Structure formats: structure tokens, C-alpha cells
Amino acid sequence: MGVCSETMLNNYNFIIIVCFSFLIVTFNFSLVRKNSLLRNIGHTFFIPLYFAIFFFLYFNEIPSIKDILFIEMVHMLTFLFCLVKRPNSNNVLNPVLICSIFILLTGIFGIYGLVGIYQNGLFISIILVGTSILNILILWLRKNNERGLINGLLWLLLSNLFILLVTHELFKYGGIPLRGISYLSIYCHFLKGIKKKIVINRTEADSLKASLIEEYNQKMEKQLSNMQLKQESIIVSNQYDTMTTAYNKKAILEVLNSLLSLVKKPMSVLMIDIDNFKQINDTYGHIVGDNCIKNVVDIMQNSVRKADYIGRYGGDEFLVVLPNTSSDEAKSIAEKLRTKIIQQSDYNITISVGIACYPEDGNKTTELIEKADKGLYASKRKGKNSVCYIK
């Protein structure tokens, strides 16, 4: 082979080894997950990268074919060690082994040169081919989906066999594309692993993001629910009597005011008082008295219409607002309430009722309340347990 052709051959091999080894090592250190077979194998590509550059800088020339075969031999031996060693055991050993090889061989090259090392070229060739075949077989037997590595090693083996066996000057160039395909296949395998890792990381990130969003939404929903419950509790406490389910005095008066201002139709109000309630408290106690009030409210709520409003006006006084109700209808409803309370209440409770009607008895809340109070007092004077409407 001519000097020019041999130099070109060396240049091509040098460029392929340096460029692809650099890419593989860079991707390996940056993205491939720790403590894995792929990462350990990626470490070994620092060997061809380092020694190719070392030869170029130390001897001031591009590594020859013989140099490249020796570098590949060392690389394949280290590659074999990574395959034999379990990936999860003593993970620090790989970098230590590689560094030890760098130091030892660099010292040997610096002191003795390459002449003594290359005296037996056949030995280097046998070791290189043998370790390459072993690496391929081990990867194939493991069935770890390392097809890219197997293909790369096969092409590399063919490239080295081309260099070793082919003697014709023109055919020697056939090993260059084979070596290029070899390193490209291995690089693509690492790139595929990197993409897979990126997809896994993205999936994990999306899952974590979705989990955090769901957790945040649940917390916000819980907080909003608590706030809504508090608001409802405040509204209930502002509108309803704390002991009964009736409106409190403020709320029932607001209802009456609203109806008077918005609805210009006949309307009646009932002022109701429990007869002899003080005697009930004195005889049976306040707890029984409270239960009597609750009992009266329950009976009234089950007896009036859905459109009617019941409010606790005082201790044992109640105001019932009857929208769209005439005086005659109000009397009928009042008598119905009085009768049901006699029939259904405990402790023989009776009530007295006073009635006022809109618009004949007044146009304002105070006027209707005053008129209903007068009817209530009239019922009391009549002997209680009665309904009275003063026209």
C-alpha cells in the first residue's frame, strides 16, 4: 500500500473513532441512567477516544492501522469485563479499571514505545477477534434488547477482519465504511437509550405533575367546601332560630318587609303565643319548655303551605306570614293550626292566635304586627286557646 493511501486510511479511521467515541462518552455521562449495563459499556468508549488522541499528540502523527488494532483490543477486553461483571455490583470499579489501564499503558508507551508491544501482531489479532466474538455472544445470550450493540460489534468485527485479512490496497478501504457503520450503530443504540430515558422521565414528570395538580385541586376543593360550609353556617345562624328550624325575628320581619314591597296582593300574618308557657317551665323545667317550643314549630311547619313562612318572634311567640291569603283563609289556617297543636302536642299545649291582613289592616310591617298583637291579646282575654281577628 502506498504512503498516501495508508495515510488517508489512517485519517478516516482516526476521524471515525474520535468523533463517535466522543459522542457516545458525552451522551453516556450526561443522560444514561446510573448503575446500568449501558452506562458501564459507555465508559469503555473513553479508551479509543483517549488513546487515539494520545497517539496523535505524543507521537505527532495519526495512529496507524496497527495502533488502532491495539486500541480496539484493549477496548474489547474492557468491554468484556463490563459484560461479565454484574451491573449493580461495585459500580466504582469500571472507572477505576479504565483509569488504571490509561496510566499503565501511557507509561509503557512513553518509556518503551510501541516496538516491543507490536512484536507479535498475530497475538493482538487473536485477542481482538476472540474478545469481539465473546462480547457478541454474551450480549446475544443475555437477550436484554441490546440489538444495536450487537450489530455495532458485528460491524466492528468485520471491519477489523477486513484490515487483518485483506491485503489488496484498494480493498483495504472497505474496512472504513464498516467501521463507520459499527460506531454509528453503537451511537444510535445509545441515542435510543437516551430517548427512552427522556420519555420515561417525561412520563414520570407528567405523572408527578398530574398528581400534584390533583392534590392541589383536592385541597382547593376542600378549602372551598369548608368556606362554603362556613358561609352557609353564617347564613343559617343569621336567618334561623338557633333552637328551632323557624326563621329568627330579624329574618321573618325581613321576609314580611320584602313581601309588602314586592307583592301587591292580599296577605295575612298570624301572631301565635303558647298558652300558659310560664307554667309549663315552672312545672316541668326549661328543658321540657324548649322541647314544647320545638314540638309546636314542627307541627306548624307540617300544617302550613309551602309558600308560608314561620318565624320565632319571641320566647314563646311566633309570627306566621301567609302570602296571597285573605282574612277568611287566614282564619281557616289559624284554626287548623290551633286544632292540630291540641291533637299532636305534648303536655296538653294550646295556642292563642291574632290575625292581621294586608291591605285592610295596614300597609307597613309595624301596622300589621300591631294589629295582629291586638288580636292575640283579644284571644287571651277570651280565655285563650282561640283565634281572634279584630276588624
Dist. CA 220–CA 229, nearest whole Å: 14
**What residues does 272 pair with on adjacent strands?**
318, 353
pLDDT higher than 50, residue 234: no
In the numeric block, the cell 440489538 is attached to: 147
Mean predicted lDDT score pLDDT of the chain: 78
Helices (H) and strands (E) in the chain, counts: 13, 5
The CATH code of the domain at 249-389 is 3.30.70.270
- At 221, the pLDDT band (50, 70, 90 cuts) reads confident
**What residues does 270 pair with on adjacent strands?**
320, 355
> In the chain, pLDDT over 70 holds for what percent of residues?
77
Burial of 307 (0-12, 13-18, 19+ CB in 10 A): exposed
The confidence score (pLDDT) of residue 168 equals: 58
pLDDT higher than 80, residue 266: yes
The confidence score (pLDDT) of residue 103 equals: 61
> In the chain, pLDDT over 90 holds for what percent of residues?
23
The confidence score (pLDDT) of residue 28 equals: 73
Closest CA to 268 of 340, 356, 351: 356
Degrees (nearest 5) of the Cα angle 189, 175, 8? 110
Q: What would the pLDDT profile of 44-81 be if each residue is shown by its tens digit?
A: 888 888 888 887 887 777 877 777 777 888 888 888 87
Dihedral-angle region of residue 253 (phi above 0 means left; psi in -120 to 50 means alpha; beta otherwise): alpha
Closest CA to 144 of 94, 87, 183: 87
The domain spans of the chain are: 3-206, 249-389
pLDDT higher than 70, residue 362: yes
Dist. CA 353–CA 379, nearest whole Å: 6
Q: Which of 50-54, 83-87, 241-245 has the lowest mean pLDDT?
A: 83-87
The average pLDDT across 132-142 equals 81
Dist. CA 176–CA 68, nearest whole Å: 12
Taking CA atoms, 97 is separated from 75, 101, 104, 220, in Å, by 12, 6, 11, 55
pLDDT higher than 70, residue 121: no
pLDDT higher than 90, residue 214: no
The confidence score (pLDDT) of residue 75 equals: 83
Closest CA to 56 of 44, 46, 67: 67
Closest CA to 293 of 307, 270, 314: 314
